[in-house]
């Protein structure tokens, strides 16, 4: 080590051999003692190898370790992905020979080889990953190699639709739009949001701290090749209990998404595009007249005129005679309006903005400092350089003005960016290849920071289709862009939501019904029904297409479609609790079947099923004409939602009967599913004083479920502790079921009492008594063997419900 050499240079050259050897040994012991002592205090091991390479291993908390490796003369830039502050170090550090080992209370340990700068990660005594310390640089590419233990299955990497299992893939980290994609399309292994992250089912993840163009090669040796000009660090993220813990720690590191606007969990209608004020109001009026609940409408580019007006960012007064009145009128009906903007300023319809922005240096330039125009699908245009603080301030002011007029949410389209010439050099000195993936994050942050500063009590919804690691912290609701309206377009959506969710994008959704139509066959009613079924159990339910987007355009299935959208509203209590789990734990709403620690089973690679939270397994029908499908269930007992007299013992695979009106749903044994079982025109009709609680016990089972409540509007309810948690517990055994209900917490406006209607679907017809806190109450057993009873629940007065069998 260099430290040793410096110490030895001061040794007395006239010592005899024995004295010199003694001095070397004492100096080494002193240096190692100092190293261990310092690391034990800071949780940072810094070591320089025999070839001059420096490695820094920094424990940010008990689960996350940052590794930086660089040669003399190199520097590692500050983190571009992480926002988490380093936590106090609670571990231990020891040195044996050439190895220094840091052990953390979580069970994670890391050993640094001071000779080679190699780093090895262990789970207890089990090695998980080895970094041999080698860093290569050639032809503008820096390469980092990691050697995992055999047997792991890898997920994540952002928005990927080709596969859930990423082993053997070469994953390009450069955001790309793929218009009209379908299942099997080779383009969809590289989509709009690339995240340099992989998650292993063996309980860890790696995030490369980078946003430059790169490749992640998922072989026996995992290689990360980047065009970054500086050495790239990485974060080792430990998941003690499996990938759920990895996801939780990853979102802690890169920032968690705040609670969503409550209305965003309802139904949103969208099309390319509603062209006038009259058409927009007419769509909402028709939806309401036809009995569809609706909470939002999205306006595509026609709000500012026509395609070549892109970048005007002003309402077209001919098409929208009184847009302020329209926005207020829609809001009065419980409908929020979301409008689009793009990164480009067209040189025809937005020439005034173009000239002003060019004069003030806010457009992208080339290396010579000249404006670097781009060719978009609507013609020649300038491009906002969001790396320039002046550009960000100008855009912020436009967004502020439009928000003040009544706009309820924002849609950032084309933000990969879709067209981003490599000749561009951004204001911060980074080339297009270096800055490309980061563009969407910075663009999103403009809107996010605006709302934080000027609308601190308003929750934000931003639809954004480009970005990279940490995008979720800007209240972004991404979607899988311009998918083909076809069965092939429907089929990758589960994989996209799963990989995205494990990459922090917990609200990834899709254009329900399919966007890009075949003009010769523009509609497929069966496809629309199946897609809407998936949409009901997706983070955002938004229909969107070039034509025939709205459900009332399919009158042959009007009642079925209406019932599906109403189903979305009945599930609001459960879904809002999933939003709480996302905000506090980072869990995505759509989760792999093995999310909660099940590994080494077929659950590791299932691509057409998912968990909706922890209690519900969703197996959407994705094949044309199918009236049944195979369903895999993991270990345990699962109850059929559609026929609750039937249950299945897992692990098992079986054929599930699924005619067009049926979406296969399996409920975990012992689950509580809270429902809002009353009519709603929009989420404003939600009533936290009335719940229907579906409870599914089979055999002996103990369970626990926590339901989240707050005022559904405050941006600070979690920070201030202004929320309530209603806890349901159960113990079913020996002919007796005991249910407990308790509540903790408070928020302004919280109801003093709640009406709880319990339903135990398909349980049996042999119930002799139901009591609440020792008092017998009436109950009903239906012909479908559903047990039903109701009770009131007062704050501060827990319930003990006992159900006795005959």
15 pLDDT more than 60: no
Q: How far is CA 52 from CA 67, 176, 800, in A?
A: 17, 39, 68
Strands 379-383, 374-376: pairing kind: antiparallel
Question: E strands, 570-662, where?
Answer: 590-591, 610-612, 616-618, 628-640, 647-657
Q: For residue 651, say if its preceding peptide bond is cis, omega within 30 degrees of 0.
A: yes
- The mean per-residue pLDDT over the stretch 380-389 comes to 99
Question: Would the pLDDT of 4 be above 50?
Answer: no
Q: What distance in Å separates the CA atoms of residue 480 and residue 193, rounded to the nearest whole number? A: 9
Per-residue pLDDT, 226: 98
Model confidence at 148: pLDDT above 60: yes
- Asked if pLDDT for residue 745 goes beyond 50, the answer is yes
Catalytic site includes residue 519? no
pLDDT band at 36 (very low <50, low <70, confident <90, very high): low
User: Which residue's structure tokens are 């300023």?
Assistant: 345
Tokens coding 649: 């013992």
Q: How does DSSP classify residue 303? A: G
Name the residue among 397, 401, 405 with its Cα closest to residue 323.
405
300 in Cβ contact with 544 (< 8 Å): no
pLDDT for 677: 98
Report residue 714 as tokens: 């405050």
Instruction: Please tell me the distance from the alpha carbon of residue 373 to that of residue 376, in angstroms, as a whole number.
Output: 10
230 and 450 Cβ atoms separated by less than 8 Å: no
pLDDT in tens, 425-456: 999 999 999 999 999 999 999 999 999 999 99
**Distances in Å between the alpha carbon of 760 and those of 204, 211, 642, 679, 790?**
39, 50, 13, 21, 12
425 and 378 Cβ atoms separated by less than 8 Å: no
Residue 18 confidence (pLDDT) above 50: no
Q: What is the pLDDT of residues 189-219, one digit of tens each?
A: 999 999 999 999 999 999 999 999 999 999 9
Number of Cα atoms under 13 Å in the Cβ half of residue 606: 25
Backbone angles phi, psi at 529, to 5 degrees: -60, -50
Phi, psi of 729 (to 5 degrees): -125, 155
Q: How many helices (H) and strands (E) does the chain have?
A: 15, 45
Q: What is the pLDDT of residues 272-330, one digit of tens each?
A: 999 999 999 999 999 999 999 999 999 999 999 999 999 999 999 999 999 999 999 99
pLDDT at position 74 is 87
Q: How far apart are CA 52 and CA 332, in angstroms?
A: 68
Nearest to 360, CA basis, from 427, 432, 284: 427
Q: Which domains does the chain have, with CATH numbers?
A: 2-254 (2.60.40.1760), 262-591 (3.20.20.80), 671-805 (2.60.40.1180)
Q: What is the pLDDT of residue 37?
A: 58
Pairing relationship of beta strands 365-366 and 424-425 according to DSSP bridges: antiparallel
pLDDT, average across residues 773-791: 96
370 is catalytic: no
Specify the pLDDT at position 33. 44
pLDDT value for 284: 99
Q: What does the alpha-carbon distance between residue 36 and residue 38 come to, in Å, rounded to a whole number? A: 6
Asked if 172 and 215 touch (Cβ cutoff 8 Å), the reply is yes
State whether the Cα torsion 497-500-504-508 is positive or negative: negative
Question: Stretch 584-607: mean pLDDT, rounded?
Answer: 94
Please tell me the distance from the alpha carbon of residue 404 to that of residue 417, in angstroms, as a whole number: 27
759 CB-near residues (< 8 Å, 6+ apart) = 692, 693, 694, 695, 786, 787, 788
Structure tokens at 272: 């390319």
Residue 457's Cβ-count burial label (10 Å; 0-12, 13-18, 19+) is exposed
Would you state the pLDDT for residue 34? 46
Give the phi and the psi of residue 684 in degrees, each rounded to 5.
-65, -15
Residue pair 564/501 in contact (Cβ under 8 Å)? The answer is no
Mean pLDDT of the chain: 95
> What's the mean pLDDT in 150-163?
97
Cβ atoms of 513 and 544 within 8 Å: the answer is yes
User: 478 near 507, Cβ under 8 Å?
Assistant: yes
| 452-475: average pLDDT | 99
CB 730 within 8 A of CB 672: yes
**What pLDDT sits at residue 417?**
99
Question: Is residue 296 a contact partner of residue 335, using CB atoms and an 8 Å limit?
Answer: yes
Give the mean pLDDT of 217-235: 97
Which residues have a Cβ under 8 Å from the Cβ of 424 and sit 6 or more positions away?
364, 365, 366, 372, 383, 431, 432
Whole-angstrom distance between the N-terminal and C-terminal Cα of the chain? 78
At 13, the pLDDT band (50, 70, 90 cuts) reads: very low
Distances (CA, A) of 758 to 459, 533, 743: 32, 26, 17
Q: Which residues pair with 382 in a beta bridge?
A: 345
- Furthest CA-CA distance within the chain: 102
**Distance between CA atoms of residues 369 and 345, nearest Å:** 19
Structure-block tokens of residue 678: 């009353």
Instruction: Give, as one character, the DSSP assignment of residue 169.
Output: -
Rg (CA), the chain: 29
Separation of alpha carbons 704 and 695, rounded Å: 11
Residue 706's SS3 state is: strand
- Dist CA 475 CA 259 (whole Å): 8
In the set 159, 300, 309, 416, the catalytic residue is 416
3 state SS of 144: strand
Mean pLDDT on 156-179: 98
Q: Would you say 788 and 758 are in contact if contact means Cβ atoms under 8 Å apart?
A: yes
What is the distance between the alpha carbons of residues 69 and 86, in angstroms, rounded to a whole number?
A: 19
pLDDT at residue 20 is higher than 80: no
Compute the distance between CA of residue 614 and CA of residue 259 in angstroms, rounded to an integer. 19
Looking at residue 380, its pLDDT comes to 98
Residue identified by tokens 């800071």 is: 42
Extract the tokens encoding 468: 């990279």
Q: What is the pLDDT of residues 54-95, one digit of tens each?
A: 999 999 999 999 999 998 888 888 899 999 999 999 999 999
Catalytic residue among 159, 169, 413, 434: 413
Does pLDDT of 457 surpass 80? yes
Query: What per-residue confidence (pLDDT) applies to 38?
Result: 83
Is 482 designated active site?
Answer: yes
Cα-based distances in Å from 235 to 282, 400, 567, 648: 51, 37, 41, 41
* Measured distance CA(274)–CA(272) in Å, rounded: 6
Query: Band of the pLDDT at 541, cuts 50, 70, 90?
Result: very high
Distance (Å, rounded) from C-alpha 596 to C-alpha 617? 13
Tokens 């009492």 sit on residue: 753
Q: What angle do CA 202, 205, 209 make, to 5 degrees?
A: 165
The DSSP letter of residue 483 is B
């Amino acid at each position: 080590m260099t430290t040793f050499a410096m110490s030895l240079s001061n040794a007395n050259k006239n010592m005899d051999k024995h004295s010199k050897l003694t001095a070397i040994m004492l100096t080494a012991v002193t240096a190692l003692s100092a190293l261990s002592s310092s690391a034990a205090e800071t949780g940072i091991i810094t070591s320089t190898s025999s070839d001059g390479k420096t490695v820094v291993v920094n424990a940010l908390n008990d689960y996350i370790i940052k590794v930086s490796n660089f040669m003399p003369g190199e520097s590692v830039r500050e983190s571009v992905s992480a926002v988490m502050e380093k936590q106090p170090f609670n571990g231990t550090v020891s040195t044996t020979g050439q190895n220094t080992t840091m052990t953390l209370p979580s069970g994670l340990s890391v050993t640094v080889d001071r000779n080679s700068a190699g780093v090895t990660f262990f789970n207890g005594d089990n090695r998980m990953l080895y970094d041999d310390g080698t860093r290569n640089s050639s032809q503008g590419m820096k390469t980092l190699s990691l050697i995992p233990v055999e047997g792991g299955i890898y997920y994540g990497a952002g928005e990927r639709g080709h596969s859930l299992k990423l082993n053997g893939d070469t994953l390009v980290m450069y955001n790309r739009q793929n218009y009209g994609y379908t299942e099997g399309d080779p383009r969809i292994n590289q989509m709009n949001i690339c995240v340099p992250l992989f998650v292993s089912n063996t309980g860890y993840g790696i995030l490369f701290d980078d946003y430059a163009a790169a490749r992640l090669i998922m072989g026996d040796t995992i290689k990360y090749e980047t065009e970054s000009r500086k050495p790239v660090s990485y974060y080792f993220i430990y998941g003690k209990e499996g990938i759920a813990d990895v996801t939780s720690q990853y979102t802690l590191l890169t920032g968690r998404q705040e609670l969503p606007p409550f209305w965003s969990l309802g139904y949103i209608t969208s099309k390319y595009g509603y062209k006038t004020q009259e058409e927009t109001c007419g769509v909402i009026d028709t939806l309401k007249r036809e009995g569809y609940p609706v909470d939002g409408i999205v306006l595509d580019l026609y709000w500012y005129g026509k395609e070549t007006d892109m970048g005007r960012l002003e309402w077209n007064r001919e098409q929208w005679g009184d847009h302020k009145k329209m926005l207020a009128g829609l809001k009065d009906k419980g409908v929020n309006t979301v409008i689009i903007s793009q990164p480009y300023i067209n040189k025809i319809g937005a020439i005034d903005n173009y000239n002003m922005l060019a004069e003030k240096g806010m457009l992208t330039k080339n290396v010579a400092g000249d404006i670097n125009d781009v060719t978009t699908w609507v013609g020649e245009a300038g491009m906002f350089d969001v790396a320039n603080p002046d550009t960000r301030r100008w855009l912020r002011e436009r967004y502020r003005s439009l928000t003040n007029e009544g706009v309820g949410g924002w849609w950032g389209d084309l933000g990969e960016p879709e067209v981003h010439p490599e000749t561009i050099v951004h204001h911060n000195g980074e080339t297009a290849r270096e800055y490309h993936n980061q563009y969407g994050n910075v663009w999103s942050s403009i809107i996010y920071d605006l709302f934080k500063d000027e609308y601190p009590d308003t929750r934000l919804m931003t639809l954004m289709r480009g970005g990279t690691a940490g995008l979720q912290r800007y209240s972004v609701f991404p979607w899988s862009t311009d998918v083909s309206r076809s069965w092939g377009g429907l089929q990758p959506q589960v994989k996209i939501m799963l990989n995205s969710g494990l990459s922090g994008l917990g609200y990834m959704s899709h254009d329900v019904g399919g966007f890009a139509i075949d003009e010769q066959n523009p509609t497929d009613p069966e496809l629309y029904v199946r897609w809407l079924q998936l949409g009901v159990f997706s983070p955002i339910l938004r229909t969107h297409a070039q034509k025939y987007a709205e459900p009332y355009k399919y009158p042959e299935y009007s009642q079925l479609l209406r019932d599906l959208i109403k189903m979305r509203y009945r599930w609001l209590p459960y879904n809002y609790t999933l939003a709480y789990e996302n905000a506090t734990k980072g869990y995505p709403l759509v989760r792999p079947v093995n999310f909660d620690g099940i590994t080494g089973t077929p659950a590791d690679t299932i691509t057409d099923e998912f968990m909706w939270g922890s209690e519900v397994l969703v197996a959407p029908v994705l094949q044309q004409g199918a009236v049944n499908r195979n369903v895999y269930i993991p270990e345990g007992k699962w109850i059929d939602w559609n026929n609750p007299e039937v249950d299945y013992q897992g692990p098992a695979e079986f054929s599930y009967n699924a005619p067009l009106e049926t979406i296969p749903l399996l409920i975990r044994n012992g689950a509580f599913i809270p429902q809002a079982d009353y009519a709603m025109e929009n989420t404003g009709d939600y009533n936290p004083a009335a719940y229907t609680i579906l409870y599914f016990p089979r055999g002996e089972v103990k369970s626990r479920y926590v339901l989240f409540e707050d005022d559904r509007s405050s941006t600070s309810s979690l920070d201030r502790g202004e929320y309530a948690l209603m806890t349901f517990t159960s113990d079913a055994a020996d002919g007796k079921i005991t249910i407990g209900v308790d509540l903790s917490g408070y928020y302004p406006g919280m109801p003093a009492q709640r009406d709880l209607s319990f339903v135990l679907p398909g349980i049996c017809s042999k119930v002799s008594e139901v009591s609440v806190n020792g008092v017998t109450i009436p109950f009903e057993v239906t012909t479908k063997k559903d047990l039903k009873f109701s009770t009131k629940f007062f704050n501060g007065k827990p319930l003990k419900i006992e159900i006795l069998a005959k």
